[in-house]
Amino acid sequence: MFSFFAVITAFYFLLTTLYYIICFFVLVFSEVLIPVFLLSITIQLGYALYYFSRLFQISNSQSPIPNSGLPISNPVTIIICARNEAANLRANLPVVMAQRYSNVAGNAMYKVIVVNDASDDETAIVLDRMAASYPNLTVIHISANEERTLPGKKFALSKALALTGTEYLLLTDADCMPASDNWLAQMVAPLYNGKQLVAGYGGYMHTSSMLNAFIRWETLHTFIQYAGYAMTGRAYMAVGRNLACTKTAILQAMQSSAWAQLPSGDDDLLVNTVADANNIAIVATPDAITTSPAKATWAAWLQQKQRHVSTGKYYKTSTKLLLALYAITHATVWLCIFLLLYANEWQLAIGMMLMRLIANALIQHQACRLTGEKYQPIQSLPADIGWMIYNFVLSPYIFFKNKMKWT
């Protein structure tokens, strides 16, 4: 009983405090509130129209190489770095090994290299058994006491690259399930046209939880951002669980000073080192995505995101400024909305916000059409507010030294 009244009392004081804070801001900043709101929402609409609307230029019916008439002449190596992934490898590796990518004689034109990075579960046993069944599967075992020349996942990746004899590479993770047997062909198709990097979409499996809904919304939102930026010549990231590239590109990225400083982030560092306005492509078709299980707890997901965003400090200055301006104006719009509603300026607030929400809804619907995700407009509004909180929570990991480990 005491705890119930304690919660009610705390909630009451929280609401009261918030009320007085709103009153303070309305009184002090009433003269600049409307101009700040209008400027922020105009900038948000500018991002939607200039960057994110580029998704409407992507076709979701891209022809995979086997059906396009283009002869398959370039072999591909799929690289998977795994640590304690026995269960995921049992489920997902057979799908990776079943890709339709063969020459006119019917011979498979790809091989798979899986690096077992000092696993202490049954990963080694699972991989050795599979290697006996698949002639184009190569397994590399790294012992726990082996001396490492690079931090985290990058050491495992370097071991695979040392055995790779192909120029075309496709990177994914052990917990990723390709959506179809055309995944490989569709992801490497732009490499045939002279691209060096191909950024795909890595989605998450659906479960009925608020966390899962937000993770999937945030993943789609991130795709909208990096796809739109790439299509305007400002590529800054990709997802390593679904990324094709040339070996030349990744060897170039390995020469950068930042490569040896982070245990992960090879995908973002690769894009920031190599990508330009003409050598990166976005592939977004339902057949070319990968799907992974999402984190089941907020703590586990936040730890994962801390590792992901820590690479942001190595982005180009112009990219960091653009990303920061987008996040700041996004937060400002929502903060101003509540203040304007209190100040009885609801017509202006709701009218302008509706314009932004409609623009975002159209873009999200297109992103879902491309990736095969289910469009859920009811979840978009609370998720959009949640993204503001997300930025406040994770912003310190963008600016301070990364100490995250690859696990």
* Buried/exposed code over 128-161 (b: 16+ C-beta within 10 A; e: otherwise): eebeeebebbbbbbbeeeeeeebebbbbbbbbbb
Helix 346-371 and helix 210-230, axial crossing angle in degrees, nearest 10: 80
**Lowest mean pLDDT, pick from 7-21, 239-253, 341-355:** 7-21
Q: What is the dihedral of CA 127, 64, 181, 172, to 10 degrees?
A: 40
329: which residues sit within 8 A by CB, 6+ positions away? 39, 40, 41, 43, 44
The identity of residue 353, as a single letter, is: M
Contact 306, 394 (CB under 8 A): yes
- Who wins on pLDDT, 236 or 103? 236
Contact 191, 296 (CB under 8 A): no
Half-sphere exposure of 395 (CA within 13 A, CB side): 13
For the segment 45-68, what is each residue's pLDDT rounded down to a tens digit? Answer: 999 999 999 999 987 655 445 444
- Residue 168 sits at φ, ψ, to 5 deg, of -90, 130
Tally Cβ neighbours within 10 Å of residue 327: 17
For the segment 120-147, what is each residue's pLDDT rounded down to a tens digit? Answer: 999 999 999 999 999 999 999 999 999 9
Tell me the whole-structure pTM to 2 decimals. 0.88
Element (H, E) at 169: strand 168-173
Tell me the β-bridge partners of 115.
81, 140
- Which SS3 state, helix, strand or coil, does residue 67 take? helix
335: which residues sit within 8 A by CB, 6+ positions away? none
Whose structure tokens read 């101003």? 336
Half-sphere exposure of 164 (CA within 13 A, CB side): 29
Concatenating the DSSP letter of every residue in 79-97 gives EEEESS-HHHHHHHHHHHT
In the chain the domains, ranked by start, together with CATH numbers, are: 59-215+226-301 (3.90.550.10)
**Lowest mean pLDDT, pick from 30-39, 195-204, 353-362, 385-394:** 30-39
The encoded tokens of residue 131 equal 């290697």
| Local confidence band at 19 (pLDDT 50, 70, 90 cut-offs) | low
Q: What is the pLDDT of residue 252?
A: 96
